[in-house]
Amino acid sequence: MTARKTMVVKIGSSTLVEDGELRRDFISALASQARDLCEAGWNLVVVSSGAIACGAPLLGFERRPADMPSLQACASVGQCVLSAAYDEEFRAVGLLTSLVLLTRGDTARRTSYLHARDALTRLVDLGVVPIVNENDTTAVDEIKFGDNDTLAALVSCLVSADLCVTLSDIDGLYTANPSLDPNAEFIPRVDKIDAAIIGSAGDSTTTVGTGGMITKIRSCRILMTAGIESVICSGAEELPLVRLANGEQVGTRFVPPTGRLEIAPRKLWIALGDSAHGSVTVDAGAADALVKRGSSLLPVGISSVEGSFAAGDVLDVRDASGFVLARGIAEAGRDVLELAAGRRQEDIAGNHLLAALANKPAIHRDNLIVFA
C-alpha cells in the first residue's frame, strides 16, 4: 500500500477576502481540490489567514484598525465567519475540518511544540483537514508569529509535509518586484536561497495582509533546510493544488538539496519555534566552519553581538554582510558573549568573568541549525 503524502497550503488574506467580503467561491473550489487530493492519496492541512480581514467590516471598520484591542476583536468575530465557511464548504464534499489556533507561546517551549505536533498528526491520520491560524484574539506582539508564512513553515515541519504551497496575489518569485520593474523576470525554480534571491523579494502590495514576499522566501529557506519542497503561486490559478500534486509546473518551486540528512525535530524547533532574541556576527573563518564542517560556534569567531538575550535564548548567526547563516541557542547571555567575542578558549579559561564559557562554545553544534 502506497503511503499517503501530506500537503500544507497557506492562503493569504488578499486571496480569501475581496472588498471586505469572504470569497465563498474560493473556499468551495478549495474544498473540491481537497476531495480530489484525498482520493489521489494526499492529506491536506490549511493555514488560513483572513480572520481580521473578515471581522473588520462586520464591526464597522472601513480599513484594518491599528490598535491591538480592535485587531483582537476583529479576529475574534472574523474567525467564527471563517470557520463556519470552511466547515460548510468542506462538509459539502464529504470532508471534516477542525480549527487549530496557535501562538508562538505554544511552540516556543519544546514540550508544547511536541504536543502541537502530536495533535496535528493525529487529526491528519483521522482524515480531518485542520484549518490552522494564529490565535490573533489573544496573541500580542511578543508572542505573535507575525505572519502566516512562518506559521505555514512551522506546520509543515510539525506534520512532516511533502509539499508546502503558498497561494498568494502574485504568481511566484521574480528577479525584482514586477509591479515596480517592467524588466523583472519570472523565476520558475530555486535550488538555493542566497543573498541575491532574498534581495529580489519585494514588499507586500496589498493592505489586507501582514506578510510580503520576503517573509515567504525566509519561510521557504527553512523548509529547504528541513528537506521539504515548497511553492509560491497565485491563488487565481486553476486547480493549483491538484496540478502540483500531479507534478505540473505552477508558480515558483523551491527544491531542497538532494542527499540532506533528516533534520532533528529539536533543530526544527530552534529554527521555527521561537523568535530570535538577538544575533551574533561571525568572521569568514567561523562562517566557513559552520556551513562546511558543521562545527560549533566558538567565541573567537564572533566579531559583534546584538540584542538583549540570556543563556538559552535563540540567536541568529550572521556573516559579515549581515546574511543569516544559521540559528542556535546561546550558551551564555549578552554581556558574557560580548566580552568573550574574539577571544580564544585559553584566554576565556583564565578570565573568571567568562567562567560560563570556559569549557563550552558560544553555540553548540547540537543546538545549531545551518540553513540550506
Residues 169, 146: Cα–Cα separation, whole Å: 19
The alpha carbon dihedral of 328, 366, 290, 260 has a sign of: negative
Compute, in degrees rounded to 10, the torsion defined by CA atoms 176, 181, 182, 184.
-10
Question: Is 27 assigned to a binding site?
Answer: no
Q: Please name the residues in contact with 300: beta carbons below 8 A apart, sequence gap of 6 or more.
A: 286, 342, 343, 344, 345
Question: Is 5 assigned to a binding site?
Answer: no
Question: Is 214 assigned to a binding site?
Answer: yes
Question: Is 342 assigned to a binding site?
Answer: no
Question: Is 213 assigned to a binding site?
Answer: yes
Instruction: Classify residue 362 by its DSSP letter.
Output: S
DSSP 100-157: EEE-HHHHHSHHHHHHHHHHHHHHHHTT-EEEEEE-TTT--GGG--SSHHHHHHHHHH
SS3 167: strand
Q: Which of 6, 3, 1, 30 has the alpha carbon at shortest distance from 16?
A: 30
Question: Is 49 assigned to a binding site?
Answer: yes
CA angle 60, 61, 64 (to 5 degrees): 155
| Number of Cβ within a 10 Å radius of residue 294 | 10
Question: Is 148 assigned to a binding site?
Answer: yes
Question: Is 232 assigned to a binding site?
Answer: no
Place of cell 580564544: 344
Question: Is 302 assigned to a binding site?
Answer: no
Residues 291, 295: Cα–Cα separation, whole Å: 8
> Which residues are known binding-site members?
10, 49, 136, 148, 168-169, 210-216
> Which residues are known binding-site members for ATP?
10, 168-169, 210-216
> Which residues are known binding-site members for substrate?
49, 136, 148
